[in-house]
Amino acid sequence: MKKLLLITVSVGIIATATAAKADQVFSCIDENTSVHFVLYEDGSGTRGGNMYINNIQVAVLDTYRVNDISVRGTIVGNTADTEFVFNSSREKVYVELSGTSEVVCSASVRSD
């Protein structure tokens, strides 16, 4: 029993130490649906992110920082040529399709 407890504690410490911390979260919430874009950064800029709908991860994002207020991201994988634009100053999420930009939502933005 002591060995099992020790292994459990060790795994818990390792998992806690390696957990990624979100650097920016864009949250779009209405009465029925929530969409969250979680972005991660390192010293050289953005390094990816995740998209969640109703708290279920639905996509992995490949992101890059454009300037101090904007990050662009595409969904990783074989998907339509779509790019999201996350603007922390305007607190909006845009989607670009074939060069046309449309507002997806007004977002609450949390930066850590």
**Is the pLDDT assigned to residue 69 strictly greater than 80?**
yes
More confident residue, 94 or 20: 94
Q: What digits encode the pLDDT tens for the residues 12-24?
A: 333 333 345 678 9
**How far is residue 51's CA from residue 23's CA, in Å, rounded to a whole number?**
14
Strand partners, 28: 35
pLDDT of residue 7: 37
Phi first, then psi, for residue 29 (nearest 5°) are -130, 130
pLDDT of residue 10: 35
Q: What is each CA distance from 65 to 36, 45, 75, 103, 110, in whole angstroms? A: 18, 6, 15, 19, 16
**Is the pLDDT assigned to residue 103 strictly greater than 90?**
yes
Secondary-structure percent of the chain, ordered helix, strand, coil, rounded to 5: 15, 55, 30
Q: Which residue ranges make up each domain of the chain? A: 21-111
pLDDT of residue 80: 82
